[in-house]
Amino acid sequence: MIEATNQQVTLEIFRGDDDGGEMTEYTVEVQEGMVVLDAVHAVQAQHAPEMACRWNCKAGKCGSCSAEVNGHPKLMCMDRLDNYEAGETISVRPLKTFPVIKDLVCDVSWNFEQNSRIGQLQPRQGTDWLFTQREADRVQEFRKCIECFLCQNVCHVLRDHDRKDDFVGPRFLVRLASLEMHPLDDGDRLDEIKDEYGIGYCNITKCCTEVCPESITITDNAIIPLKERIVDRHYDPVAWIWRKLTGQK
Amino acid sequence: MDKYETHEHDVVVIGAGGAGLRAAIEASAAGAKTALVCKSLLGKAHTVMAEGGVAAALASADNRDSWQTHFRDTMKGGKYLNQYRMAELHAQEAPERVRELQEWGAVFDRTHRGGLNQRNFGGHTYPRLAHVGDRTGLEMIRTLQDQGVHQGIDVFMEATVRHILKDDDGHVAGALGYWRESGRFVIFRGKSIVLATGGIGRCWDITSNSWEYTADGHALALWAGGELIDSEFVQFHPTGMVWPPSVKGTLITEGVRGEGGVLKNSEQERFMFDNIPEMFQGEYAETEEEATRWVEAVVSDQRPDARRPPELLTRDVVARAIRREVRAGRGSPHGGVFLDIASKRSPEAIKRKLPSMYHQFKELANVDITAQPMEVGPTCHYTMGGVRVDADSQETGVPGLFAAGEVAGGMHGANRLGGNSLSDLIVFGKRAGEFAAQHAAERSAASSFDDNEVEQQAEKMLAPFGREQGENPYTVHNDLRNMMQEKVGIVRTEDDLVSALEDIGRLRERAATVKIGGNIGFNPGWHLALDLENMLDISEAVTRSALLREESRGAHTREDFPETDDETWGQQNLVTTREESGEIAVRAEPLPEMPDELKELIKE
């Protein structure tokens, strides 16, 4: 375990852009409680001021400093150096799923484009805006999302198959779930979720849930219930007959 | 000017935290073609870090609350230096702005009756902070972001503005900046410009503020001929983390105390009982038994028949008391004091109401706050000082230039109450957007500016690359932060402040010769080298104002002038300007006269 007894840590950081680059080694001193982001900052301050890296809050609240540390997608600000063995070289790479702009900074603009496709809450007409904490809890879980895009990064539909044209990814299924399950929402997005946002591509491997730094149960609480609602509407024979008879949607 | 990428809009909003987003939404809704320019990705601005809640007299958790009480609390918390009209508008309009967020999709915590829940906070007479656990800022920024992207706003992410361009008549014409990614220059032409750039906390060593808080808007306004007000008042939040070193300064929400957390020194004394200032005498619990009764009532959603614990005094008071304990040798092992919620609330309640605090301590400090006390100490958090604006329109002294949120001054006076910043963002963000759009509609086209000015600025920005020799900008920045922490911190003296001004002079010389490696593409060293100029100018504004105000009031404490002087200094605001020569000058101005009906409210 790396401890702060005048120890040093060696990082291997990707330096380059989308055309390529190389892993470059830097050694900095370790202070107690240091996280990977601190070590990256120390590299900037002491060795490479021009090295690019995004960060903001340094407390796991903003989701800016996502990277792949020893191959694991993480927030660098919440990854303590004492999680690693003394003498171990820690590799830090940018997220693989998005094009690299420079060093640890990726072009994540595709995610912002997906978000702007999703409409707002459609509150029930004339609502008194009263609902219980229990009802709030269900959507508050989804609204904890800090948009670090680690779930998007590990989703194999996006990472390995690059189906960005067909599938919005777990982050935005969570956002859709937060609207669909809002206690006062009157909207209906199920057809869009099926046809435009491509929920069918998700085959529930739960990789997204595993990496979520906010511990949102993405697959079980957001994606599966949405899939169930779609199944009920489109593939349940009883419901199908009922709709035919009543003319309801 | 064809040489540089140029965008043309009616309204250009700089900064995309709560105030900037709210301003852009309003301007766009009013029909203005609106640009939103921000240094980070959308949704990462400092608002995301706000924890405890948004203050608004909704009277949902306690029906005795009213805008009048909120106004009174705000003025009292600000030690009566606030621009009364801003405090009045803020108290009146905050409830509507919060309800509007709910309609746009924000899911606030609920009361037993299903309404918006509100939590107690320092200096607020009634439970007033609508909240979402301890991640209220995230809820707000996400709600505004999601609302904003459907308004036709043009969002420009990761661009830094360095200069406000004006026409020959002194009216704003546009903003010159650079793309962080490519380093290329970009011009945003606009008929109105709204500054919503946040604060200045990166001038201090121990701070809860992110890299973005480099005093950009304060400096842009000052350089453009605007004025700053109340610069001497910098809020040190009483409870930042003190250990381990890597998280020193990271914020611990006041919500911990709002949920019943208590402060203790190394002798296990609740020292806040001995630190109730005269102006708050009689309003706070005087025994532990009474304080406990209050917490128990509040926790079970009852109306308390006891007075609130002294841990919920205003932030200036609590920060000074903590500093005193530590100086007296009664601190915790790492130079703070203890904040204990574990002995007051059940582990389940702590995890439910303060989930991110639980997570933050567990992950970053190996402390389980449901079982152990936290170690806490003051951290630079917020600046009450900012760009002087008209209270109703948020327009600065520069025609066409508006400011809203933390970058604007006057609302909070000498000390801000917790929760009043989030409400400030949405109340005055909305107003700035509305009036900026109105102003733009009255003008036929964006003004023209002098191309030479653009060239000069561009040359100045690129200068660090041309130097053969020079220091690393990070070294100069660290020295500035340590100096400000030591000499212009919570407690100040004339000697320290005079010495700080000399240090700033020397740091300016060093900053002017820093050297940058690499190229202009996403180069944080270069970005910091440029930011040093803003930080040095605003550090000087703070220091000169602190030197002039020879009294102690709110967040400004002078060891050599420990008394509050209501006769003289209590009647004046300090105003900062930049002279033609480039010198930073500070002068005193009488407070605006408050109408009688508001005076009556304060007397009650």
Domain edges within chain B: 5-235+381-441, 240-378, 459-569
Query: What tokens does B137 get?
Result: 């800022």
Pairing of strands B262-264, B118-119: unpaired
Structural contact between residues B160 and B180, judged by C-beta atoms closer than 8 angstroms: yes
The percent of residues above 70 in pLDDT, for chain B, comes to 100
Residue A247 pLDDT class (50, 70, 90 cuts):
confident
Say yes or no to pLDDT of B546 above 70.
yes
Partners of residue B139 in chain A, C-beta under 8 Å? 143
Q: Which amino acid is at B116?
A: L
Q: What is the mean pLDDT of residues B270-283?
A: 94
Contact call for B109 and A136, based on CB within 8 A: yes
> What's residue A5's pLDDT?
61
Q: Which CATH entry fits the domain spanning B5-235+381-441: 3.10.20.30, 3.40.50.300, 3.40.630.40, 3.50.50.60?
A: 3.50.50.60
Residue A6 pLDDT class (50, 70, 90 cuts):
low
> What's residue B446's pLDDT?
87
Q: What is the mean pLDDT of residues B333-342?
A: 96
Helices B216-223 and B524-548 cross at an angle (nearest 10°) of 70
> What's residue B1's pLDDT?
57
Structural contact between residues B72 and B92, judged by C-beta atoms closer than 8 angstroms: no
CA B40 vs. chain centroid, Å, equals 17
> What's residue B421's pLDDT?
97
pLDDT by residue (tens digit) across B311-324? 999 999 999 999 99
The rounded distance, in Å, linking the Cα atoms of B190 and B446 is: 5
Task: Determine the residue of chain B that is closest to A137 in CA distance.
Answer: B109
> What's residue A246's pLDDT?
84
Contacts of B545 (CB under 8 A, 6+ apart): B230, B231, B232, B385, B574, B576, B586
> What's residue B497's pLDDT?
98
Fold classification of A109-246 is: Fumarate Reductase Iron-sulfur Protein; Chain B, domain 2 (1.10.1060)
Pairing of strands B228-229, B386-387: antiparallel
In terms of residues, how long is chain B? Answer: 604
Contact call for A59 and B360, based on CB within 8 A: yes
Catalytic residue among B90, B257, B439, B578: B257
For the domain made up of B240-378, the CATH class stated in words is alpha beta
Scanning chain A, the segments in alpha helix (DSSP H) are 36-46, 109-117, 133-143, 150-154, 156-159, 170-180, 190-195, 207-211, 224-235, 237-246
Residue B487 pLDDT class (50, 70, 90 cuts):
very high
The rounded distance, in Å, linking the Cα atoms of A159 and B11 is: 39
Query: What tokens does B346 get?
Result: 């059940």
Contact call for A130 and B114, based on CB within 8 A: yes
Residue A70 pLDDT class (50, 70, 90 cuts):
very high
> What's residue A92's pLDDT?
98
- Helix (H/G/I), strand (E/B), else coil: A183: coil
Fold classification of B459-569 is: Methane Monooxygenase Hydroxylase; Chain G, domain 1 (1.20.58)
Report the residue from A32, A51, A175 with minimal CB separation from B244. Answer: A32
| Secondary structure tally for chain B: helices H, strands E | 16, 20
Say yes or no to pLDDT of B13 above 80.
yes
In terms of residues, how long is chain A? Answer: 249
pLDDT by residue (tens digit) across B215-253? 999 999 999 999 999 999 999 999 999 999 889 999 999
Tokens 């104002």 identify what position? B545
* Domain(s) of CATH 3.10.20.30: residues in chain A: 8-106
pLDDT by residue (tens digit) across B25-34? 999 999 999 9
Nearest-Cα distance to chain A for B498, in Å, is 29
The rounded distance, in Å, linking the Cα atoms of B331 and B334 is: 8
Q: From the candidates A51, A56, A107, A139, which should be mutated to test the interface with B, based on the most B CB atoms within 10 A?
A: A56
Task: Write the DSSP assignment of B262-328 as a string of letters.
Answer: EEE-TT---GGGGG--GGGTTSB--SHHHHHHHHHHHHTTPPPSSPBPGGGS-HHHHHHHHHHHHHT
> What's residue A152's pLDDT?
98
Say yes or no to pLDDT of B76 above 60.
yes
Contact call for A120 and B478, based on CB within 8 A: no
Task: Write down the ipTM of this complex.
Answer: 0.94
Q: What is the mean pLDDT of residues B192-209?
A: 97
* Domain(s) of CATH 1.10.1060.10: residues in chain A: 109-246
> What's residue B16's pLDDT?
98
Say yes or no to pLDDT of B255 above 80.
yes
Query: What tokens does A177 get?
Result: 């779930």
Backbone angles phi, psi at B576, to 5 degrees: -105, 135
> What's residue A236's pLDDT?
83
Say yes or no to pLDDT of A249 above 60.
no
> What's residue A235's pLDDT?
84
pLDDT by residue (tens digit) across B145-172? 999 999 999 999 999 999 999 999 999 9
Say yes or no to pLDDT of B107 above 80.
yes
Q: Which amino acid is at B366?
A: N
Say yes or no to pLDDT of A4 above 90.
no
Contact call for A132 and B43, based on CB within 8 A: no
Nearest-Cα distance to chain B for A236, in Å, is 31
pLDDT by residue (tens digit) across B446-467? 899 999 999 999 999 999 998 8
Q: From the candidates A61, A66, A108, which should be mutated to test the interface with B, based on the most B CB atoms within 10 A?
A: A61
Task: Determine the residue of chain A that is closest to B101 in CA distance.
Answer: A121
> What's residue B30's pLDDT?
98
Nearest-Cα distance to chain A for B361, in Å, is 10
Contacts of A12 (CB under 8 A, 6+ apart): A23, A24, A25, A89, A90, A91, A92
Domain A8-106 has CATH 1.10.260.40: no
